[in-house]
Amino acid sequence: MNDIIKIAIADDEVLFRQGISFILNKEVNFDIVLQAEDGTDLLTQLRASKELPDIILMDLKMPNLNGVETTKIVKKEYPEIKIIAITSYYSKPFISNMITTGAVAYLAKNTPPKEVIATVNAVATKGFCYNENVMQVIQENMLNPDAKVSRSYFDLDYLTKRESEVLKLICAQCTTNEIAEELFISPRTVEGHRNNLLLKTEAKNVAGLVVFAFQHKIVALEESL
């Protein structure tokens, strides 16, 4: 990957923040442009910065302004920035909450460095990166009859056959080029179908399309892995 990925890290643990920064800075396509000690510090730096990050590694449990609330504000003010939740609390409620809030990946703090690097690269190229555990939580949450989502007001016939095919491949975490090769269409055509899906489903990003697909049972968990 040749394009430089600009990264911000928000974490109140200095040792962890500096350690992950040291590891990621070794990657030739990564550039750590910002480090923050909590949500308030992050927002202050973002608002003053001339160079916004592409991706933020966001700790959930921080003083002053925690990661969940900070993510809500970042997604509102800077919708193009992608949030990777990184935390010690790898539990279903935290995962579900952060995905609903807008996180496009979720990592435990004891994740091996190689997996963190792979996740950052995947988020940069695909728009999201959900491992098997996260996919399981999404499916369980979306198919829970008590979940506060509406699945009955969307006519799936509103999606074309090709759009449905593209959506399924997005859920399989295929890149634009991989989808193009699979369906024998151009990458530009794939982007067109993706944009149509975002408009039709009213999803805010590619990760939202995955949640939508589970909500409406367009894909099952085994198809997305």
Residue 26 DSSP symbol: T
DSSP string, 146-159: TSS---SS--GGGS
pLDDT band at 153 (very low <50, low <70, confident <90, very high): very low
**CATH classification of the domain holding 147:** 1.10.10.10
CA distance 122 to 114: 12
Q: Of 105, 129, 153, which closes a domain?
A: 129
Do 70 and 148 lie in one domain? The reply is no
Residues 37 and 119 grouped into a single domain? yes
Report the alpha-carbon distance of residue 69 to residue 60 in Å, rounded. 9
Measured CA to CA, the distance from residue 11 to residue 134 in angstroms comes to 22
Alpha-carbon gap, residue 32 to 203, rounded angstroms:
29
Considering the domain architecture, whether residues 119 and 199 belong to the same structural domain is answered as no
150 and 43, same structural domain? Answer: no
- In this structure, the answer to whether residues 32 and 91 fall within a common structural domain is yes
Note whether residue 134 is domain-resident.
Answer: no
34 and 121 share one domain: yes
Q: Judge if 147 and 168 occupy the same domain.
A: yes
Q: What mean pLDDT, rounded, does the chain reach?
A: 86
Residue 149 scores a pLDDT above 80 = no
pLDDT surpasses 90 at 98: no
**Residues 6 or more apart from 159 whose CB is under 8 A from it?**
167, 197, 200
Looking up residue 62, the CATH number of its domain turns out to be: 3.40.50.2300
Last-in-domain residue among 79, 100, 129: 129
- Domain match, 11 and 120 both: yes
The residue out of 101, 129, 157 marking a domain boundary is: 129
Q: How many distinct structural domains can be found in the chain?
A: 2
Asked if residue 199 belongs to a domain, the reply is yes
Residue 122 lies in domain? 5-129
Q: Is position 136 within any domain?
A: no
What does the buried/exposed string (b/e) look like for 85-121 if buried means 16 or more CB atoms within 10 Å of the residue's CB? bbbeebeeebbbbbbbbbbbbbbeeebeeeebbebbb
Nearest 5°: phi and psi at 109?
-70, -20
What average pLDDT does the segment 55-66 reach? 92
The answer on 188 and 85 residing in a single domain is no
CA 222, CA 171: separation in Å to the nearest integer? 10
Do 153 and 88 share a structural domain? Answer: no
Percentage, residues of the chain above pLDDT 90: 55
Asked if residue 181 and residue 86 are part of one domain, the reply reads: no
Determine the pLDDT at residue 36. Answer: 97
Please indicate, yes or no, if residue 23 is contained in any of the structural domains.
yes
Q: Which residue has the tokens 């198809």?
A: 223
Give the HSE-up count for residue 53: Cα atoms under 13 Å, Cβ half-sphere. Answer: 26
User: Is 35 part of a structural domain of the chain?
Assistant: yes
Q: Across residues 66-74, what is the average pLDDT?
A: 92
Residue at 166 is within a domain: yes
CA distance 170 to 176: 8
CA distance 73 to 134: 23
Least confident window among 10-24, 27-41, 90-104, 105-119: 90-104
- Is residue 115 domain-resident? yes
At residue 208 the predicted structure's pLDDT band, cuts being 50, 70 and 90, is confident
